[in-house]
Amino acid sequence: MLAKLSMAAALGLTLALAAGFAGALHPAFDSFAHLRLHVAGLLVVAGLVMAWLGARRTGAGAATVAILAAVATLAGPFWHSPAAAGAGTLQQDVARYRLLQLNLRFDHPDPKRVLSLIAREHPDIVTLNEVSPRWRAALEPIAAAYPYRLVCAASAGVGGVAILSRRPFAADARRACTLNGRFAHAGIDLGGTTVRVAAVHFGWPWPSRQAAEAARLAPVIAALDGPTILAGDFNATPWSAFFSRFVADGGFEPPPRLGATWLYHALPQALRPALGLPIDHVMTRQGVRLVQTRRGADAGSDHVPVVADFVLDAPANAAPATTVARAAGR
């Protein structure tokens, strides 16, 4: 019975892996892609069980398939983005800015941990997801530090998105909320250059509404002209067909490798990084260049903060930008 169960499990897991690699054909297949590394790990276990029960060739074959799938995933081009270039290549007179992206977790038990994180990182711009009514009140203590804000109320669910900024909103740039409060964009004046900053929180993959939401947002994102930075919880791994297509269609630079950013909070601390998913991303286009992107410290959410330092690439005929003074401790 155990042999039959392990054989059936290996077959099912192999089919799940194959479906994930066919994600471009249909969103249903792509849903398997997000958990590809987890499925590969389970297939290795099934292969070892079969080998232990005597089916050595079949078990070795299953484990080999799993390892090849994992290697193909981890060797993908999305892990080697030029956006991960080191900050040491910057010239001294180039202004450097910081954005912090975080899915707050709508029912966060201790909002002060998030406020402390923001104070420590001292970002110029903050993009937030799951801004529930209780979070709208909890963010008031930093209103003076971030007076320029666009907070979107979600019509349903876990809350909307928000953009908070130390820098003023550009007077001639439109600000708007859409996608039922889960997408926001605003023009922010950074040293005389208007940068379009957008925050997004996509729904889950098929059979949920993720693909339909991306199609609905496509013309909105295409209309954001000039330097643009988009951050949020995409509920999509970088190796999925959905994410690859979204990045390419939007004209964004592929975001750099970060590792797991969603960590199920009920798991033991030691297991959370290994079993998490990289679904929170910061990406740029048209003259915004990421120079350092990293995971921030745990702030009590089930998502890890993403801290992205970026610069604006001046046109060839433009004068050098003035260095932005950073507060002490940056």
Contact assessment for residue 135 and residue 158, using Cβ atoms and an 8 Å cutoff? no
Q: What is the pLDDT of residue 258?
A: 87
With H, G, I as helix, E, B as strand and everything else as coil, classify residue 210.
helix
With H, G, I as helix, E, B as strand and everything else as coil, classify residue 162.
strand
Q: Give me the sign of the Cα torsion angle 256, 284, 250, 286.
A: negative
DSSP 244-275: HHHHHHHTPPPPPP----B--TTS-TTTHHHH
pTM, rounded to two decimals: 0.88
Q: Would you place residue 269 in the very low, low, confident or very high pLDDT band (cuts 50, 70, 90)?
A: low
Cα within 13 Å of Cα(166), Cβ side: 17
Average pLDDT rounded to a whole number, residues 75-96: 60
What is the distance between the alpha carbons of residues 87 and 251, in angstroms, rounded to a whole number? 23
Give the type of residue at 120.
R
For residue range 282-311, list pLDDT tens digits in order: 999 999 999 999 999 999 999 999 999 999
Q: What is the pLDDT of residue 77?
A: 62
Give the type of residue at 215.
A
Q: What is the pLDDT of residue 78?
A: 59
| Helix, strand, coil shares, percent, the chain, to 5 | 35, 25, 40
Q: What is the pLDDT of residue 275?
A: 81
The answer as to CATH 3.40.50.150 being correct for domain 84-312 is: no
Is the confidence at residue 326, as pLDDT, over 70?
no
Contact assessment for residue 249 and residue 242, using Cβ atoms and an 8 Å cutoff? no
Average pLDDT rounded to a whole number, residues 133-139: 95
Residues of the chain with CATH 3.60.10.10: 84-312
Give the type of residue at 294.
R
Query: Containing H/E element for 212?
Result: helix 210-222
Average pLDDT rounded to a whole number, residues 234-263: 93
Question: Is the preceding peptide bond at 207 cis, omega within 30 degrees of 0?
Answer: yes
Contact assessment for residue 187 and residue 178, using Cβ atoms and an 8 Å cutoff? no
Least confident of 104-108, 266-270, 282-286, 323-327: 323-327
Average pLDDT over all residues of the chain:
89
Closest CA to 226 of 181, 176, 286: 286
